[in-house]
């Protein structure tokens, strides 16, 4: 049980990095850190799973509500229906979950920088210290997601009859991709720098362009994982494996993967200048 982090001493810091050790290739370092801190990754995932499970349960309760409001609009060969309740109300608990992403971002940043980590206290300290900006980002994500999901599906339904719908459709797709890339950087920006909300967003969108190769790599990895998941046969074994991974590693490993990939971009353009001025955290 101690290996799973349920009763491990996570109020004690882990070992830091040896300053005299030569740098290792990023790919090798990524998996060395992950393997060395595997028990802490599991503990971090279980910690985040508490609020995430509560949000998922609330979303399920909202989804089974019988009073779904469906918007019917003309589109394509038949009227197009958009479930406003499913796309507009059911995701609201994710907004309340967003401050807990601060804990994921802070702890996984400490992992990749190989800094001593007090897992429990560092997680909740990051949540308390950054909940406003993460809650604000959750609201922005909710609004942008609602608008883009409606717009994309609406224009997609009209593609067969209206060629002019291709332009707004692909504009919506492009905006969604760029916004996704900005989200790769925002958690690290929030927990690392004393930036205003607007400054963090401005830098995140700049990094969406400056870190293009890394953004494409992450997008390809997530797309490949989604395709693999869809290709798996739906059996009891695959369902059990997916459930075990969800409970033990999915959230912490995803945060670590994103932060490890984009951190060099942030370090190059922001952390070095901020360290010189003493503004980094």
Residues spanned by the domain of 247 = 26-277
Q: What is the pTM of this model?
A: 0.86
Does a structural domain hold residue 13?
no
Hey, which bits of 123-177 come out as E strands?
none
Note the pLDDT of residue 187.
97
Note the pLDDT of residue 1.
34
Does a structural domain hold residue 137?
yes
Note the pLDDT of residue 18.
53
Does a structural domain hold residue 179?
yes
Does a structural domain hold residue 79?
yes
pLDDT digits (tens, 9 = 90+) for 64-82: 887 777 777 766 566 777 7
Tally of domains within the chain: 1
| Plot region of 114 (φ>0 → left; ψ -120 to 50 → alpha; else → beta) | left
Does a structural domain hold residue 12?
no
Q: Determine whether 52 is exposed, middle or buried from the number of CB atoms within 10 Å of its CB (0-12, 13-18, 19+).
A: buried
Note the pLDDT of residue 68.
72
Regions of the chain where pLDDT drops below 70: 1-22, 74-78, 274-281
- Alpha-carbon distance of 271 to 263, in angstroms, equals 9
Does a structural domain hold residue 5?
no
Does a structural domain hold residue 71?
yes
Does a structural domain hold residue 6?
no
pLDDT > 70 fraction of the chain, expressed in percent and rounded:
86
């Amino acid at each position: 049980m101690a290996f799973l982090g349920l009763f491990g001493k996570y109020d004690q810091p882990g070992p830091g990095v040896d300053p005299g050790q030569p740098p290792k290739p990023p790919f090798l370092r990524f998996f060395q850190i992950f393997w060395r801190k595997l028990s802490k990754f599991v503990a971090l995932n279980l910690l985040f799973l508490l609020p995430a499970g509560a949000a998922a349960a609330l979303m399920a309760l909202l989804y089974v509500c019988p009073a779904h409001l469906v918007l019917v609009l003309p589109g394509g060969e038949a009227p197009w229906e958009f479930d406003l309740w499913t796309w507009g109300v059911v995701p609201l608990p994710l907004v309340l979950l967003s401050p807990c992403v601060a804990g994921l971002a802070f702890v996984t940043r400490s992992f990749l920088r190989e800094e001593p980590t007090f897992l429990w206290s560092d997680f909740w300290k990051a949540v308390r210290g950054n909940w406003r900006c993460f809650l604000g980002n959750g609201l922005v994500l909710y609004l942008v997601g609602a608008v883009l999901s409606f717009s994309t599906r609406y224009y997609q339904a009209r593609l067969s009859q209206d060629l002019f719908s291709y332009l707004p459709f692909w504009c919506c797709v492009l905006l969604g991709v760029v916004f996704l890339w900005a989200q790769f950087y925002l958690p690290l920006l929030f927990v690392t720098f004393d930036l205003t909300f607007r400054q963090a967003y401005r830098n995140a969108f700049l990094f969406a362009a400056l870190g293009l190769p890394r953004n494409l790599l992450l997008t390809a990895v997530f797309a490949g994982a989604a395709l693999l998941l869809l290709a798996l046969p739906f059996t009891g074994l695959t369902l059990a494996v997916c459930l075990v991974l969800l409970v033990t590693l999915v959230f912490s490993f995803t945060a670590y993967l994103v932060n490890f990939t984009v951190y060099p971009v942030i370090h190059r353009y922001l952390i070095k200048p901020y360290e010189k001025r003493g503004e980094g955290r």
